[in-house]
Structure 1
Amino acid sequence: MSEPSETLDGVRYFDASIAVTLLNGIQPLDPMIAAVLRGLNLRIYPGRPADGDRSDYVVLDLNGVSIGVQRRAKALYLHADTTETSDKAVAFEVNGGGENDYPLI
């Protein structure tokens, strides 16, 4: 895959948010939100309409897992990469239809 066209690095975003908060006297971030922001990375890869892509490919990195999402002409594409974790399965639910466990190879 090519280089992302846009990225959001959670640590840099968090540090910038703290600086703005302190400079403007705004109430500090909730600790739970701060913890999530520090571990968040967001990458956006441009879609390829000629291949049937209907949107950019957006990848969210959080908690050692990468989740990719893209709208395509024939289906919604979801990709989960758990290679940095010790997970043995992924529990997944679509549209409230119940949770399904997928074993990881």
Structure 2
Amino acid sequence: MDDDSFPPILPISGGAAGSRDLTLTSGDGTKFMAHAARAAKPTGAGMVVIPDVRGLHPYYKELADRFAEIGVDAVALDFFARTAPSEDRSEKFDFMSQVPLTKPDQ
């Protein structure tokens, strides 16, 4: 998909109560970026959004927001925390240089 792509707009049932960027800490102390979106009218469902190879690209933040709009609380996370600084993951992020540095056990 292009860097300016956005998820499809789903029928909005209750809107999102809000969303925000977070810095979370893993069990080993590594800090990583995430984006949490809360549903205004929660259905009781929750979802973790695992991004593609680009990491926490704006597309995945928007995707989490869209799920919240239909009643599903969602968190999108960045899996490059151990290989790249916590910074913008838009089109300027050189994600391909990070791919070989990631390990399945991290």
| TM superposition score category, shorter chain reference | under 0.3
| Structure number, greater radius of gyration | 1
Q: Which structure: greater strand fraction?
A: 1
Instruction: Give the TM-score taking structure 1 as reference length.
Output: 0.26
Q: Which structure: greater helix fraction?
A: 1
Structure of higher RCO (CA pairs closer than 8 Å, 6+ residues apart): 2
